[in-house]
Each structure stands twice: as structure tokens, then as C-alpha cells.
Chains A and B, each alone.
Chain A
Amino acid sequence: MKSRKIVGLTLTFILALGLLLSGCGSNSATPPADKGSDKKETTTPTDTTKKTEDDNKPVDGGKLVIGSIGEPTIFNDFYSTDTSSSEISSKLYNGLVTFDNSLKPQPDLAESWEFSPDNLKITVKLKKDVKWQDGQPFTADDVVFSYNIPRSKDYAGPRASDFEKIKDIKKIDDQTVEIDLSEPYAPIMSTLAYSILPKHILKDVPVKELDKNEFNTKKPVGTGPYKFVEWKSGEYIKLTKNPDYFKGAPHIDELFYKFVPDQNALIAQLQAGEVDIIGVPSTDLQTVEDWAKKSGKADVITTQALSYTYLGYNMLNPLFKDKKVRQALTMALDRKAIVEAVLNGDGKVANAPASPLSWAYNDQVPTFDYDPEKAKQILADAGWKDSDGDGILDKGGKKFEFSLKTNQGNKARETIAQVVQQQMKKIGIQVDVQVLEWSAFINDNILKKKFDTTILGWSLGVDPDPSGIWHSKEAKDGGLNFISYKNPEADKLMDENTKILDLQKRKEVIDKINYMIADDQPYSFLYYPNDHLAIPANLKGYEYGPAGLFYNIQNIWLAPKK
């Protein structure tokens, strides 16, 4: 999706694991969105675990040790691409806006924003009296300076495309900036979530050398709730609270991010009390929940992840040309049983290429529930019959058989591949499962379109624009529409959707797109996974949703242990 991803703590852990074990499709991190807004958020989706604060008042003090598999790389949104980095930089910096648990933009450093009638100009009012952690005042100059980094021709980083719709950015006065767009562009809101960097510190650094500047790794200064103290390579990163934080001083004194590269060791450290918070993968959920219940030291909290897992069909393969055949293949899959058996029920069957967490989700899409008999019938109507009696369907002397590729190290996907193989066999289709090392899988197979079908997952962005995955122009070499889905009508709607700024109107267009895609079934959408966190039992005041545990971190506190 063409937008910033919400980088919650959960995603950090799951995706950090993903980096190692090749988890989700998109491992890249994006600027922090889990920063607080000063508006109290009341609209949390139903899946969000929410804890209401106890009657007793928040207590200051204490520290939290967050166990992390991945070690961050660089605290600068314009260069970092991993979730560990953006998780920490979201504590150090703020963007102009942030995204809440319903994935809607909320003011962060911005006080308010306004689009011009032609939607080509955004006027952003900035909050007054915000100070950098070194005491300097935050002004419009910092915003202009920061946005000009990825717009510079000397910039050699991964984020330029997010800023390409910005034609110009001007300071009007110390508290106002004006952004000119080259076309009306709704996902621009997610660009406004990028961290603002301090001009007074970085103004003399040439953009060419900015990525190697020690500001990024040794002395970052932001406007955020926590200040950087030290990074002990391979051990931990220490942050201390910013008492002058513009949304109110955080209650918890210190945050430690402790690096434990092994998942089992990470759980052992949780049990030994050496880390307080860890991401819990589905496979370890039972173990950690049992321990949490028995010891009473921790709670395991759950939210739906902003991602989905799918079985994708390579449309260049003549087998999958016919929409009816693809629909039949989905009917052959008992996805409910897959979620129950493989994930222990820890997920929800998906039918559309969007997440129920998003405001742009609509469940009114064609669904293809488990019905092997009907699947067989549809295939027979399409000419696929078992004419030689070997149990495999054939047509014109060609057997219905294909390969299914997925990546190594993701137990769930490996198991699902086998279940798919068995269920396809039942309706007379031969599936050859191949499990490949992540990098070879992506570079030599997926991106080169050398596959028949694949099981993969997408981490979605906060902006619901489907173009990045479904537009036919992304079917080019190296593009992410590697299944070569082409629907001119959907293309047109996709081009349209980013130009509509009204959420409701845009949702209607996106609904249509998702309806078409669901009807075309270029993927068998499998399920929406869950994210789990183990947190201290005395942690109070948090909301856990797609924006992460630390959305509104200044409200979180630790109750004194009795």
C-alpha cells in the first residue's frame, strides 16, 4: 500500500523476527505512527484490547525493558527501513501528524491542517511552545528543513518517492508551513507522519553525508517523549524521559530496548524477569500464556495485525487465466479449518485485500466459502475432468498440476502449504510444494515471476491505497504486482482514489476496487493474523491496537508492586 505503515511495537517484534525468519512480505519499516496525539481517542476498533485505567492515579517512576530480536540501524526516518529503528525513533521524534488505532490521522506536532479548495495546497499550523530536547524552540524552519532532505537531488535514500508529490514547501511564519502538491493526493497524510529533524543541529551537514552523520546513531535529538542516552552495541539502547514533552511528561522514567537475537532465549529472559515486554509469536502463545497465568507476573494482550496472508496465483500461467477457476480453487480450500488447525484459531479468515482495522474496509465483497463439490462442478464446467482415471483432473491432455512456493522458516506457511496440497488433491489437483530460503525465494522466484502459486503475506500501510500491489503498472519487472493482475477498470479507480480527499467518498471508490479484486480472486485470501505482546501485569493506562502499545506513551504507567 502506498503509504506509511503503522509501526507498532508488535510489528516491530513480529517483523524483526520476520527479518530473520523471513516473515511477512514487507519487512520494511516506515516512520513512526505510534506517537500520541493530544486528543483523547475514543474510537478504537473492536479488536483493540483496551484497558481502562484503574481508579488510582498514575504513578511516576520505574523502567521498562523491552526485549527485541532485531537491533536497530539508524534513527533517521529518511534512511531507516527496519521496524526496530522506527520503533525507537518514534520515541525520540514526532511527525506533523500521527495515526491512531483506527488508522486516521491525528495532530502531532501540527495543531491543525487545511487543504485549499482545489486540494493542491495544505496549510499546516504548528503547535506553539514545542521545544527540542536540547531546549531550542521548534519552528516551521525545522519542518521545511526536514522535508527538503528527501527532496534534495543529493539524497540517496529509500524514501524519495513519498515526497515526490510535494512540489514546494514554504514557511509562512514560525508556526505555519504551506505545502504545494503537484496533484491532489490523499496518501500525503502518511508522508506528514515522517519525523521532523532539528535544523539547528543538522543545517551544516550536506545531504549527501547526512546518512553517515553521528547524529543518527550517537546523539539524536528530537521533540519526542524520550531522550536518547546510550546505545551499547549488541546489548541495549537506553532512553530516559523528556520531562518537557509537549504532551505531558511520561510517567515511566526509563526505557531499555534489550537485544536478544534468539526467540527461545527471549522467552526465557521474560520468564527470568530480565525483560518486561516481548512480542509473542503464535507458535509460542500457549507457552507464554500458561506461564503468565501461573506466575501472575505478566499479561498477554492481543490485537489483529495490520496484515494478511494469501495464496497468490501467477496470472501469466494459463491455468489461472479463468476467473471461475480461481474462484473454484478458493472454494476447494477450507480456510476456517486452516485457521483452526494451523494457527490454533489465532486469526480470522480474510476475503478482501484490505484489513478490517482500516476505515476503508468493507466486508461486502464476494466470498467463496469451502465447498469442494461446487468447486469440482465449476472446474468440470470449465472442461477440467479426470478423463484417464488417475485421480488428477485434465483438459486437452494437460494435467491440472502446479507448484506452490513459500519461504523457509515460517512454520505456519510451511504447514499451510501442505494443507493446501491435501485439500487440492481432494478435488483432483496435483500441487508440488517447494519451500525456499527467503532471499532466493524473493529475488530469484517471486520478483522474477518464476512461480505458479505462492503463499506470502502483506503488511499494510496506514493509507488504504491499493495501487502499490494491484495496479497493472506495478506488474513491471521488480514490481510488487508480481502475480501480474490486470483489471483496467480497477486501474482507473485506483488512479482516482488517491485524488479524493474526502474519506467517505474515497472509501466508496476503494470499496469498489476491493469488490472487483475479491471477485477476480487473483489471490485466495487466507487470513488476518494476530499480534501478541507479553507485558508486565502492573502496566496501566495503555491502549493496544494497530498503532502499537506505546501510542500515547505519556499515559502509560507502572503500578507499584504490592
Chain B
Amino acid sequence: MGAYIIRRIIQTIPLLIGITIVSFAVMHLAPGGPIGMATQMNPNIKAEDLEKMKEAMGLNEPVYIQYLTWLGDLVRGDFGYSFVKRVPVSELIIERLPNTFLLMFTSFILAFIISIPLGVISARKKNSLTDYSVTGFSFLGISVPHFWLGLMAIMFFAVKLGWFPAGGAATLDGPFSIGDRLIHLLMPALVLATGDMAGLTRYTRSSMLEVLGQDFMRTARAKGLKEKKVIYKHGLRNGLIPVITILGLILPSFFGGAVITESIFGWPGIGKLFIDSVFQRDYTMIMALTTVSAVLVVLGNLLADITYAIVDPRISYK
């Protein structure tokens, strides 16, 4: 197992380099640059000054040189300075990443604890009213875009009812308290969870349906085991195997969703930072965030594979 994990990690290195090459190229293909965006339509700023800034920032080098310089710095653990904010990129990411993690994992766990039982119930009561309602809500959850749901939630629960704060990660300048953090976290986490919750419910349902019809389920019942034990010990454990693969796969979608959800809720995570940096063409920041999220997604998949082996003893990695 240990050797397998190490091998997998080594395998990801060329993959990650590939990702950075593609991102770097795509980013440079987009019109504009970190200097142009805010300054080029200002009659007050001379083209010569901008040229001098470009030179000082190394933006006049050929793209492959710029890439190699960037990669060289990265290998030494240096993400460089933000072109726009003029502070080390790593500083901002370290400040913001924990917030995104908090949001992602909360909604991940919410999605998990809500959708798995719903999927199981739906499968057990196949074609019942419960099943139909769960299915209906699932499709609704898949179809509704995050930004709309987020705004509706804010309008209803924050503006109309005043139950929750309308945005932010904590009360402005208030003292730190867990309760305060939780109440700010709940709405964005739930909104972020909806889309994937819906998908997960559907996967759990179909996977459970398959398992429920298996011989060993009948055997378990014949042994006289309690229904609960049959379903949750024998059924769910087998039914979860494909679901875990899915969990690994939906990790990137949490990142994507976080970008939008963070903007709506003013959540100070890297999603918001990413949007800002894309609009400002802040190359170093874009690359750092792309790399960090690529690493996380790759690790997420690895984690899913390992969990796979834990849940299903038949699978072993050599």
C-alpha cells in the first residue's frame, strides 16, 4: 500500500507539469495582460511607462522563458509576487485557502450525510411517493444554478427573515466565536452542497438498488439478521463503493462551485481571489491558484482510490 501511494504520487508529477504548461499557454493566449487591464484606457498613463513596467516584470520575455522562470521559482517553493497586488502570492493563498477548505469540507460532509441516507431510503422504497419526491428534489438540485439559489437564500433567510447573515465569514470586526463562524458558514455550505447532494443521492440510489437484489442480501436476511443491519452493514458497505469513486470525482466541482458561491456570499476564500486575478490577468496569482487546485484534485482522487481499498477488502494495491 505504501509503495503504491508513493508510486501514485510520483506519477502525478508529469501530470501536474502538463497542467501548468496548458494553463500557462491558455492564460497568455487571452488578450490583455496584468499591466494593460487597468491602465491602458487612461490618457494619463503613457505607453512608454507601461513598456518599462512590462520590462521590469519580465513580461517581455518569450512565453516559454517566462514559464521556465516561473517553474524554476516554483520548484524552489516560490510562487512569486502578485503582479497586481505586489505581495507574495503564497501569503494571500495561505490567508485564504483555509476558508475555502472550511467551506468545501463542510458542504462535502453535508452532502454526504444528507444524500447517502436519502439515496438508501429512496432505493428501499423504490417507486413510492418518498422515492419520487427525493428524485424530484434531486433533479431540482442539479438544475438550479448556485448563484441563483445563493441569492434566493440571501433574500429569504437574510433579508426577509433575518435568521442568517447575508454574507462574509464572520461578523465584521466582532470577537471570534465558533457560533458566529458556524452561522456564517451554514448558508454558503448548504448552497454549495445542493448540486452535488442531488447527484450523490441519485448515485447512491442506483448503486443500492443493484446491491439490494444481490444473493448475499438474501443470505443475510435468511440468517435472521435485523433489517437495519442487513441494509446498512451488508448493503450500504457494498453500495458505497461506486459512490466513493464519485466523491473523488466531484471534488473539482466543489472547487468550481466554490468560485461562484464565494462571490455571492462574500466568502473570503480562494475562489474570489481567483475571479479577481482572472479579470486582472494577474498571471502569477492565476498560476499559483491553478497549481494549488490541480494538486488538491489529484490528491482527492488518490484519496478516493485509497478509501476504495479500505471499504472494499477485495481491492488491494500493490
Partners in one complex: yes
Which A residues have a C-beta under 8 Å from some C-beta of B? 1-5, 19-20, 25-30, 65, 71, 73-74, 79, 81-82, 156-162, 211-212, 214, 216-217, 232-236, 238, 254, 256, 258-262, 264-265, 268-269, 271-272, 274, 439-440, 442-444, 447, 461, 467-469, 474, 478-480
Considering only residues 236-277 of chain B, those with a C-beta below 8 Å from chain A are 263-269, 272-273, 275-276
B267's nearest neighbour on chain A, judged by CB, is A234
Of the candidates A2, A234, A235, A444, which one forms a contact with B43 in the assembled complex, judged by CB atoms under 8 Å apart? A2
Shortest distance from the beta carbon of B62 to any chain A beta carbon, whole Å? 19
Known contacts A28-B38, A28-B42, A272-B165: does B268 contact A232 (CB below 8 Å)? yes
Give the nearest-CB partner of B48 in chain A. A161
Q: Chain A nearest CB: distance from B30 CB in Å?
A: 7
Whether A79 touches B263, Cβ cut-off 8 Å, given contacts A265-B167, A480-B43, is: no
Q: Does B16 contact A (CB under 8 A)?
A: no
B279 and A20 form a contact (CB under 8 A): yes
B49 and A159 within 8 A (CB): yes
* B130, CB-defined interface residue at 8 Å: no
Please measure, in the bound complex, the distance between the C-alpha atom of A236 and the C-alpha atom of B169, giving whole angstroms: 11
Of B56, B95, B159, B166, most A-chain CB atoms within 10 Å: B166
Q: From residue A49, how far is it (CB to closest CB) to chain B in Å?
A: 27
The answer to whether A265 touches B41, judged by C-beta atoms less than 8 angstroms apart, is no
The 6 closest A-B pairs by CB, nearest first: A468-B43, A234-B268, A156-B56, A28-B42, A439-B32, A161-B46
Q: Are A217 and B87 in contact (CB under 8 A)?
A: yes
Contact B50 A158 (CB under 8 A): yes
A259 to B269 Cα, complex, angstroms: 12
Q: Which residues of A lie under 8 Å from residue B86 when comparing CB positions?
A: 73-74, 79, 211-212, 216-217
Interface size on B, residues (CB 8 A): 63
Q: Known interface pairs A79-B86, A447-B40, A480-B43. Does A238 touch B173 (Cβ–Cβ under 8 Å)?
A: yes
Can you give 7 A-B contacts (C-beta < 8 A)?
A: A20-B279, A28-B38, A73-B86, A212-B87, A233-B92, A261-B275, A269-B266
Residue interface bits B140-173, CB-to-A below 8 A is 1, else 0: 0000000100110011001100100111111011
- A474/B43 in contact, CB under 8 A: yes
Of all chain A residues, the one with the shortest Cβ separation from B47 is A478
**Bound Cα distance from A256 to B49, whole angstroms:** 33
Residues of B near A162 (CB, < 8 A) are 44
Contact partners of B267 in chain A: CB under 8 A: 234
B52 and A156 within 8 A (CB): yes
Nearest CB in chain A to that of B33: its residue: A443
Residues in chain A near residue B265, CB distance under 8 A: 265
Across chains A and B, the number of contacting residue pairs, with CB separation under 8 Å, is: 183
Residue in B35, B46, B49, B99 whose CB lies within 8 Å of A234:
B99
The listed residue (A81, A160, A212, A234) touching B39 by CB distance below 8 A is A81
User: How distant is the Cα of A65 from the Cα of B171 in the complex, in angstroms?
Assistant: 12
Assess whether A269 is in contact with B85, with CB atoms less than 8 Å apart: no
Check if A258 sits within 8 Å of B168, measured CB to CB: yes
Is B84 part of the binding interface, using a Cβ–Cβ cutoff of 8 Å? yes
Which chain A residue shows the least CB distance to B85?
A: A73
Docked Cα-Cα span, A233 to B89, in Å, equals 12
Q: How far is the CB of B125 from chain A (nearest CB, A)?
A: 39
Compute how far the CA of A212 lies from the CA of B35 in the bound complex, rounded to whole angstroms.
16
Residues in B170-193 with C-beta less than 8 Å from chain A: 170, 172-173
Minimum CB distance partner of B154 in chain A? A268
A469 and B30 contacting across the interface, CB-CB below 8 Å: no
Q: Are B40 and A442 in contact (CB under 8 A)?
A: yes
Complex alpha-carbon distance, A262 and B170, angstroms: 18
Interface pair B276/A443, CB less than 8 Å apart: no
Asked if B41 contacts A268 (CB within 8 A), the reply is no
Give A109 Cβ to nearest chain B Cβ, in Å: 22
Return chain A residues, CB-CB under 8 Å to B310. Answer: none
Could you tell me the distance in whole angstroms from the C-beta of A31 to the nearest C-beta in chain B?
Answer: 10
Question: A28-B44, A236-B168, A474-B43 provided; 4 other pairs, C-beta below 8 A?
Answer: A162-B44, A235-B266, A443-B36, A443-B40
Tell me whether B166 and A269 are in contact (CB under 8 A).
yes
Does B124 sit at the interface, judged by CB under 8 A? Answer: no
Neighbour of A4 across the interface among B44, B272, B275, CB < 8 A: B44
> Which residues of the partner chain A approach B167 to less than 8 Å between Cβ atoms?
260, 265, 268-269, 274
Query: Smallest CB-CB separation from A254: which chain B residue?
Result: B173
Write the chain A residue with the least CB distance to B42. Answer: A28
Confirm or deny: B53 has a beta carbon within 8 angstroms of a beta carbon on chain A. Answer: yes
In the complex, chain B residues whose CB is within 8 Å of the CB of A214: 87
CB-based contact B38/A274 at 8 Å = no
Q: Please, which residues of chain B bring their CB within 8 A of the CB of A265? A: 150-151, 154, 166-167, 263-266
Please indicate the chain B residues that have their CB under 8 angstroms from the CB of A20 in the complex: 279
Question: Could you tell me if A262 and B43 are in contact, using CB atoms closer than 8 angstroms?
Answer: no
Say whether B31 contacts A156, CB under 8 Å.
Answer: no
Distance in angstroms between the alpha carbons of A2 and B45 in the assembled complex: 8
Q: Is B37 an interface residue (CB 8 A)?
A: yes
B172 near A236 (CB under 8 angstroms)?
Answer: yes
Most buried by A among B43, B50, B87: B43
A261 touches B162 (CB 8 A): no
Q: Is A443's CB under 8 angstroms from B38's CB?
A: no
Interchain CB contact (< 8 A) of B158 among A259, A268, A474: A268
Closest-CB distance, B164 to chain A (whole angstroms)? 9
- In angstroms, Cα B47 to Cα A468, docked, is 12
Residues of B close to A28: CB separation below 8 A: 38-39, 41-42, 44-45
Say whether A158 contacts B268, CB under 8 Å.
Answer: no
B166 touches A233 (CB 8 A): no
B266: which A residues are within 8 A, CB to CB? 234-235, 258-262, 265, 269
Q: Which of B38, B47, B92, B150 has the most CB of A within 10 A?
A: B38
